[in-house]
């Protein structure tokens, strides 16, 4: 295994960098610079096409947490980790049909704005502050950490040097606003897909060479089937498989992905619907377009989610077989650190085995995924801070130019904080798990608040506030009282309890009457075009076939 990139690899990466930076500057100069409008900066209102919306959703979603974290969990758990991508695609369809028209027809542009309009300012402020902390300390921080870690292993440069490079690159893209982010994300997605598929191809070829007869990728796939049967099941049973926990011990795979119960209790649905439907940096891309354009963009993103397991899961499976078969000492040594098996090292180690040229492409793909995701999240942090906190409490009379300038300052500060905190994540065993677990403390309460706020006219602000606070408290209590309870099952249980409490308080407070600030709901809002209907049916069919075959 050769640590570092060749001169030719750096040339390829430089070409990618110049193309993205130049195109971003062109978009900024010709489509955005002349306008100091805040909606243009935060939403790119009316200017993103369906393919730009879909690409931007995927670029913001697929980052180091998937390339590194999810590949690591594929090494750890196997194909079952694909559920996050597969169910994410199905959840995007639900968001497109039911969530988007509710946001658009009620002129909602930020998640705290929804809370203020449907409930009250109290809840909106509390959740705005919470979302800022979550996006900075969990999302931005984890992406910078995983990105820095992977680039460190690829280039040989120190972690902080790599993290600073990624942060500065992302800041440059983000300061141009959502329009620049949206259109440069198209290039980023092309890079991450091509580079990701190239890495998968090489990983399967390597597996064929090291463990098989060297006949190619089909043999590599066959070897995964032969050598890693425990890693090719979508549904786990309690106590069925023990896997590396990233801390030097073993854990029950069921605790990470609790089989059919994560669907029955609803933990996976809570996780995905909250992420794609109640998440500023996911919905923000679609809120500036007309409903059909937005839905087609989300449908495109759903199809892309079906492709992601080929890019982020298969390399982890190939690394697992190579590791188990002790087929390459560089892989074994790279994945093991001080005698501890570190699943998050699987993907970066594979990248270092790529040939000259492809290594540069993979480096560009990984950087594209990281930078695009950082940019999207930072823009959402800026949007929430400026529109829901700064203009509300510090300066209500900001001009459009001052609003955009304040947003840019918020972006820089958020990145600086996340960069400083990111090295601390080295203390956690598995980064993708870290993201899911800590996000899961509030996800149940948020989804309850949004669903009841959309579709139940009796929902009150006090009921929603109780659900939000109970979500955190109940999650923390369950972690301590039932430490072995799978976190996805915990999320489902907490969601149903929060919803029942929300309903009970709202019913008692409203005395069964509709609230004056309840949203209007019209049946025709949820009608979709035939193209969307057939596309959605295809996505759902793919999901069902995968679960049927690999159950």
Q: Where are the domains of the chain?
A: 7-230+264-429
**Distance (Å, whole) CA 226 – CA 220:** 10
Q: What angle do CA 321, 369, 71 make, to 5 degrees?
A: 15
Looking at residue 190, its pLDDT comes to 76
Contact 375, 181 (CB under 8 A): yes
Question: How far, CA to CA in Å, does 107 sit from each of 118, 232, 290, 324, 380?
Answer: 12, 45, 12, 54, 17
pLDDT, tens digit only, all 551 positions of the chain: 455 678 888 888 888 778 777 776 676 666 554 445 555 555 555 557 888 788 778 877 776 667 777 888 888 888 999 999 999 999 999 999 999 999 888 888 778 888 989 998 888 888 888 888 888 888 888 888 878 877 787 777 888 998 998 888 888 777 766 666 666 666 767 777 777 788 888 889 888 988 888 888 899 899 999 888 888 999 998 888 888 777 777 888 888 889 899 999 988 999 899 988 888 766 766 777 788 988 999 999 999 999 888 888 998 899 888 888 887 777 777 788 777 888 878 887 887 777 777 777 777 777 777 777 787 788 888 888 888 888 888 888 777 778 888 888 888 999 999 999 888 877 665 555 666 667 778 889 999 999 999 999 999 999 999 999 999 999 989 888 888 888 889 999 999 999 999 999 999 998 888 998 988 889 999 999 999 999 999 999 999 999 999 99
Contact 295, 99 (CB under 8 A): no
Residue 256: both structure tokens together: 């990470």
**Distance (Å, whole) CA 97 – CA 91:** 10
Looking at residue 379, its pLDDT comes to 80
291-301 as b/e: b if 16+ CB within 10 A: bebbbbbbbbb
Residue 266: both structure tokens together: 């609803």
Contact 313, 80 (CB under 8 A): no
Q: How many residues are there in the chain?
A: 551
Looking at residue 350, its pLDDT comes to 80
Could you tell me which residues come within 8 angstroms of residue 118 by beta carbon, excluding any fewer than 6 positions away?
453, 459, 517, 518, 519
Backbone phi and psi for residue 90, each to the nearest 5 degrees, phi listed first:
-65, -40
Contact 365, 194 (CB under 8 A): yes
Contact 282, 61 (CB under 8 A): yes
Residue 77: both structure tokens together: 């758990």
Q: Which helix (H) or strand (E) holds 251?
A: strand 250-252
Parallel, antiparallel or unpaired: strands 250-252 and 336-337: unpaired
**Distance (Å, whole) CA 103 – CA 96:** 11
Contact 368, 16 (CB under 8 A): yes
Fold of 7-230+264-429: Sodium/glucose cotransporter (1.20.1730)
pTM (predicted TM-score): 0.84
Looking at residue 28, its pLDDT comes to 67
Looking at residue 35, its pLDDT comes to 46
Q: What is the 3-state secondary structure (H, E, C) of 485-509?
A: CCHHHHHHHHHHHHHHHHHHHHHHH
Q: What angle do CA 64, 67, 69 make, to 5 degrees?
A: 75
CA dihedral 441, 521, 94, 506 (to 10 degrees): 20
**Distance (Å, whole) CA 94 – CA 76:** 30
Contact 153, 351 (CB under 8 A): yes
Looking at residue 184, its pLDDT comes to 66
């Amino acid at each position: 295994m050769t640590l570092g990139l060749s001169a030719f690899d750096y040339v390829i990466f430089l070409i990618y960098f110049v193309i993205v930076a130049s195109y971003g500057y062109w978009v900024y100069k010709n489509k955005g610079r002349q306008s100091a409008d805040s909606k243009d900066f935060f939403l790119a209102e009316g200017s993103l096409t369906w393919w730009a919306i879909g690409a931007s959703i995927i670029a913001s979603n697929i980052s180091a947490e998937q390339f590194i974290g999810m590949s690591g969990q594929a090494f750890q758990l196997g194909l079952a980790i694909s559920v996050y991508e597969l169910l994410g695609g199905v959840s995007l369809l639900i968001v497109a049909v039911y969530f988007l028209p509710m946001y658009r027809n009620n002129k909602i542009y930020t998640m705290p704005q929804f809370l203020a309009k449907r409930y009250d300012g109290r809840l909106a402020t509390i959740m705005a502050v919470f979302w800022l902390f979550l996006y900075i300390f969990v999302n931005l921080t984890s992406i910078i950490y995983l990105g820095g870690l992977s680039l460190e292993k690829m280039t040989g440069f120190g972690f902080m040097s790599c993290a600073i490079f990624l942060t500065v690159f992302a800041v440059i893209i983000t300061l141009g606003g959502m329009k620049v982010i949206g259109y440069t994300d198209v290039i980023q997605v092309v890079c991450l897909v091509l580079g990701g598929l190239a890495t998968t191809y090489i990983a399967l070829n390597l597996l064929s060479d090291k463990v098989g007869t060297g006949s190619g990728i089909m043999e590599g796939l066959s070897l995964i089937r032969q050598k890693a049967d425990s890693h090719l099941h979508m549904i786990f049973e309690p106590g069925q498989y023990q896997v590396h926990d990233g801390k030097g011990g073993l854990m029950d795979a069921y605790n990470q992905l609790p089989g059919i119960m994560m669907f029955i209790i609803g933990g996976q649905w809570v996780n995905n619907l909250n992420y794609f439907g109640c998440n500023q940096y996911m919905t923000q891309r679609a809120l500036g377009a007309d409903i059909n354009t937005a839905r087609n963009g989300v449908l495109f993103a759903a199809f892309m989610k079906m492709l992601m397991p080929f890019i982020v899961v298969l390399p982890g499976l190939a690394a697992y077989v190579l590791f188990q078969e002790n087929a390459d000492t560089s892989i074994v040594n790279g994945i093991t650190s001080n005698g501890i098996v570190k699943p998050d090292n699987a993907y970066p180690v594979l990248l270092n085995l790529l040939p000259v040229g492809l290594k540069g492409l993979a480096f560009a793909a990984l950087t594209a995924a990281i930078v695009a995701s950082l940019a999207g999240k930072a823009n959402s942090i800026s949007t929430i801070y400026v529109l829901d906190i700064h203009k509300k409490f510090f300066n209500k009379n900001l001009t459009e130019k001052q609003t955009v300038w304040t947003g840019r300052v918020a972006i820089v500060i958020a990145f600086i904080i996340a960069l400083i905190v990111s090295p601390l994540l080295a203390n956690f065993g598995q980064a993708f798990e870290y993201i899911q677990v800590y996000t899961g403390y509030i996800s149940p309460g948020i989804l309850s608040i949004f669903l009841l706020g959309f579709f139940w006219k009796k929902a009150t602000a006090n009921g929603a506030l109780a659900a939000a606070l109970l979500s955190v408290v109940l999650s923390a209590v369950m972690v301590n009282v039932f430490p072995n309870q799978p976190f996805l099952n915990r999320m489902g249980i907490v969601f149903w309890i929060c919803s029942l409490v929300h309903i009970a308080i709202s019913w008692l407070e409203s005395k069964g009457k509709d609230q004056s600030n309840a949203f209007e709901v019209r049946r025709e809002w949820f009608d979709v075009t035939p193209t969307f209907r057939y596309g959605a049916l295809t996505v759902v069919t793919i999901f069902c076939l995968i679960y049927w075959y690999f159950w």
